[in-house]
Amino acid sequence: MHTLYVELEERSYPIYIGRDLFAGSDLLSRHIHGRQVAIVSNETVAPLYVQRIRDALGEVDLVSEIVLPDGEQFKTMQTLQLLFDRLLQEGHNRGTTLVAAGGGVVGDIAGFAAASYQRGVNFVQVPTTLLAQVDSSVGGKTGVNHPLGKNMIGAFHQPRCVLIDTDTLHTLPGRELAAGLAEVIKYGLIGDEPFYRWLHEHMAKLLARDQAALAEAIERSCANKAAVVASDEREGGIRAILNLGHTFGHAIETAQGYGEWLHGEAVAAGMCLALRLSAERGWVPEVEVTALRQLLQSMALPTAPPPELAAGKFLELMARDKKVVDGQLRLVLLRGIGEAVIVSDVSSAELMQLLQN
């Protein structure tokens, strides 16, 4: 097992990465500070892992199992309300701990519930998808989607710990594994060129679920994200570089209907657009745009937006993104591999030409 830390002073917490983390371990129970626990999962994950989590809780007085419907389309205020209903009906108080067991949707909803329920209770992240393990479970972003935009309603609320059991990836569908690897690639592009080159060399092993390669990729990704979050917890500055490809990607997800494209698939296409724009500004060699596209294609990930999404509609959706500040759309581009920059001088004409091409 490897342990990393997100350094946020009194809100600091560990990230545990390893195999079979619950058997004969107090890793979970040591972070349960009350006598009540609500395990929040979904219909797919609950039958696989909830009992293992329940067995690792230690001595508590109340354990509720709250199973949500599975899918990005259920990341809504209505689902959040169902979660609040159960917590209230079963008598959970301010000392309860929510344990989120699932992918990014479960983690975001449970985290938002924890941030809001009785003005804030503890929660623990147990991510079971690669994307959640390397991205959404770390950093304290929580929330739900709105029909007009992704993740528009939420709060920052840090977990007590993150438990990443790499054995959960054995049951992950191949499409979701590849989508998670898109976020892994992002970390190399924005600030870790040696890692990015390593990913090109080891992608076949990662897709084959080689345990050593996956553990290395997860640890490097989490270390990169933890460092960025520690320097800018609430995205007032540098943390925005984690959004490489996301403004484009969120527009795709909103346009297609949540759940049609996986988040990582939309980010993959968005990263290609960001690199294309960076190359057109003369910051990135054309060969790097081609190399990224070929890498993503080898993973069966999209490298362009859906053809039916008109450029005008795309721009309209991007303008609603939460990263728009005072009417200025901020985008993350690259001045080189491993060197992300945040820009707010991309004109509508420049974006229109990019999307039309």
| Rounded distance between C-alpha atoms, residue 23 and residue 5, angstroms | 22
> Residue 116 burial (CB < 10 Å; 0-12/13-18/19+)?
middle
Given 243, 253, 265, 323, the catalytic residue: 243
Taking alpha carbons only, the member of 110, 96, 105, 100 closest to residue 37 is 96
Contact yes or no for 189/283 (Cβ under 8 A)? no
| Rounded distance between C-alpha atoms, residue 336 and residue 275, angstroms | 9
Given 10, 119, 170, 308, the catalytic residue: 119
Q: Is 316 a catalytic residue?
A: no
SS3 assignment, position 284: coil
Given 52, 75, 225, 276, the catalytic residue: 225
Q: Is 209 a catalytic residue?
A: no
Given 157, 220, 239, 323, the catalytic residue: 239
Beta-ladder partners of 329: 324
Q: Is 263 a catalytic residue?
A: yes
> Residue 200 burial (CB < 10 Å; 0-12/13-18/19+)?
middle
> What are the E-state strand segments in the chain?
2-6, 13-18, 36-42, 62-68, 96-102, 122-127, 141-146, 149-156, 162-165, 324-325, 328-329, 331-336, 339-343
| Rounded distance between C-alpha atoms, residue 209 and residue 19, angstroms | 13
- Across the beta sheet with 62-68, the strand order is 2-6, 13-18, 162-165, 122-127, 96-102, 36-42, 62-68
Axis-axis angle for helices 246-256, 311-319 (nearest 10): 110
Tokens of 255: 């346009």
The β-bridge relationship of strands 149-156 and 141-146 is antiparallel
Given 86, 92, 141, 220, the catalytic residue: 141
Q: Is 250 a catalytic residue?
A: yes
> Residue 142 burial (CB < 10 Å; 0-12/13-18/19+)?
buried
Given 176, 235, 253, 265, the catalytic residue: 235
Given 92, 160, 220, 263, the catalytic residue: 263
Q: Is 239 a catalytic residue?
A: yes
Given 92, 160, 220, 250, the catalytic residue: 250
Q: Is 243 a catalytic residue?
A: yes
| Rounded distance between C-alpha atoms, residue 350 and residue 332, angstroms | 15
Active site residues: 119, 141, 183, 225, 235, 239, 243, 246, 250, 263
